[in-house]
């Protein structure tokens, strides 16, 4: 379903009614805490459903729950999120620059967020596009592995409840965002801040510790990509999977990356590295694996804005 057709009827609906509207349109939803963005279900957006019985049961239990929609192939929707937080927000300027460059055409609907930011809804691309966040540009992309809080959900801002509301729909043909091009435009060299000035010296552990310290300094929007890059550097240094996990896992969790995302990112680096990496120990062969703190971070998945 086109995002505009999905969102136009929402105005004036109660949250339960709106959740059912999405489900009937075959868009999976899940409940989030009333007045907030955190999923109420144990597995977050991974449990999203378009089954009317599921949705009815959830909103009967939590009638004031906000509505979360997983982005990417699950819903057929991708969202560009323009942030306006801070004394001098950079999101609007980043949005304008990317629009002038022709990278943000094809939006189907614009939704105003409770903080005054913007969600631009696009149809999902045919191939998977992973969610990412650009802390420098204050402009994020919600695709696979992410979710958004959808109208008519309410968020408490400065002690007052404000609503996600449809601002406008486009009269032009909708088209997906090229998320890779957009990210490269916003952060053309996001990981070049690592510059040791001289080749690594010392033990493998000392090399790993230097990368871990560098990762700790990365901004919020660069942390996942930074973890992948640091993992690749350890591969280049001949560090096996378990040593990389032991060195980078704790600091990645400390800076707020979800435990599952940490494991997935480091595994991805080793799986996509040169063939020599395949000879390194697997997770099951570890005698001292890193494991996340009990309970993990307070959020699950890619946090929406």
- Kindly tell me if the per-residue pLDDT of 221 is higher than 80: no
**Structural domain ending residue among the three candidates 123, 154, 186:** 186
**Structural domain ending residue among the three candidates 186, 221, 253:** 186
> Within 13 Å of residue 246, how many CA atoms lie on the same side as its CB?
15
How sure is the predictor about 140, in pLDDT bands with cuts at 50, 70 and 90? very high
Nearest to 226 by CA among 213, 238, 243, 239: 213
- Token match 């009967």: residue? 60
pLDDT at 44: 87
Lowest mean pLDDT among 43-52, 142-151, 153-162, 223-232: 223-232
| Statement to judge: residues 56 and 141 lie in one domain | yes
pLDDT in tens, 29-42: 999 999 999 999 98
**Structural domain ending residue among the three candidates 152, 186, 220:** 186
Question: Is residue 298, in this structure, part of any structural domain at all?
Answer: no
- Kindly tell me if the per-residue pLDDT of 271 is higher than 90: no
Question: Is residue 296, in this structure, part of any structural domain at all?
Answer: no
| Statement to judge: residues 113 and 22 lie in one domain | yes
Better-scored residue on pLDDT, 5 or 18: 18
| Statement to judge: residues 78 and 154 lie in one domain | yes
| Statement to judge: residues 161 and 208 lie in one domain | no
| Statement to judge: residues 176 and 208 lie in one domain | no
| Statement to judge: residues 21 and 104 lie in one domain | yes
Q: Which domain does 281 fall in, by range?
A: 204-285
How sure is the predictor about 254, in pLDDT bands with cuts at 50, 70 and 90? confident
| Statement to judge: residues 279 and 140 lie in one domain | no
Question: Is residue 195, in this structure, part of any structural domain at all?
Answer: no
Instruction: With beta carbons less than 8 A apart as the criterion, state whether 111 and 119 touch.
Output: yes
| Statement to judge: residues 34 and 99 lie in one domain | yes
Instruction: With beta carbons less than 8 A apart as the criterion, state whether 252 and 245 touch.
Output: no
> Taking the complete model, does pTM exceed 0.85, yes or no?
no
| Statement to judge: residues 80 and 170 lie in one domain | yes
pLDDT at 193: 39
Question: Which two structure tokens, joined as six digits, stand for 121?
Answer: 């809804």
Better-scored residue on pLDDT, 240 or 292: 240
Question: Is residue 198, in this structure, part of any structural domain at all?
Answer: no
Question: Is residue 81, in this structure, part of any structural domain at all?
Answer: yes
Considering its fold, how many domains does the chain have in total? Answer: 2
Question: Is residue 196, in this structure, part of any structural domain at all?
Answer: no
Question: Is residue 300, in this structure, part of any structural domain at all?
Answer: no
| Statement to judge: residues 110 and 38 lie in one domain | yes
pLDDT in tens, 165-187: 999 999 889 999 999 999 989 88
- Kindly tell me if the per-residue pLDDT of 52 is higher than 80: yes
| Statement to judge: residues 164 and 270 lie in one domain | no
Q: What is the CATH number of the domain that holds 173?
A: 3.30.2250
Q: CB atoms < 10 A from the CB of 102, how many? A: 11
From CA 174, how far away is CA 132, in angstroms rounded? 21
Question: Is residue 193, in this structure, part of any structural domain at all?
Answer: no
| Statement to judge: residues 182 and 208 lie in one domain | no
């Amino acid at each position: 379903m086109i995002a505009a057709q999905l969102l136009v009827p929402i105005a004036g609906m109660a949250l339960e009614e709106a959740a059912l509207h999405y489900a009937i349109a075959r868009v999976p939803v899940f409940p989030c805490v009333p007045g907030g963005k955190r999923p109420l279900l144990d597995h977050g957006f991974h449990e999203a459903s378009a089954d009317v019985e599921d949705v009815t049961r959830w909103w009967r239990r939590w009638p004031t729950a906000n509505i979360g929609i997983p982005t990417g192939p699950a819903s057929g929707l991708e969202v560009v999120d323009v942030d306006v937080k801070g004394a001098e927000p950079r999101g609007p300027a980043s949005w304008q620059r990317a629009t002038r460059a022709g990278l943000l055409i094809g939006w189907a609907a614009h939704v105003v967020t409770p903080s005054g930011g913007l969600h631009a809804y696009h149809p999902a691309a045919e191939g998977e596009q992973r969610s990412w966040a650009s802390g420098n540009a204050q402009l994020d992309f919600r695709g696979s592995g992410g979710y958004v809080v959808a109208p008519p959900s309410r968020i408490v801002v400065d002690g007052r409840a404000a609503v996600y509301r449809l601002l406008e729909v486009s009269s032009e043909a909708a088209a997906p965002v090229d998320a890779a091009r957009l990210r490269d435009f916003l952060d053309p060299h996001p990981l070049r801040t690592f510059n040791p000035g001289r080749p690594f010296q010392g033990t493998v552990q000392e090399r790993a510790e230097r990368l871990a310290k560098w990762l700790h300094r990365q901004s919020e929007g660069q942390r996942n990509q930074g973890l992948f890059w640091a993992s690749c550097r350890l591969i280049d240094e001949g560090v096996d999977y378990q040593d990389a996990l032991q060195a980078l896992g704790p600091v990645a969790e400390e800076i707020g990356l979800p435990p599952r995302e940490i494991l997935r990112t480091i595994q991805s680096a080793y799986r996509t590295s040169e063939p020599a990496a395949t000879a390194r120990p697997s997770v099951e062969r570890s005698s001292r694996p890193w494991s996340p703190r009990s309970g993990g971070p307070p959020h699950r998945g890619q946090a929406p804005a």
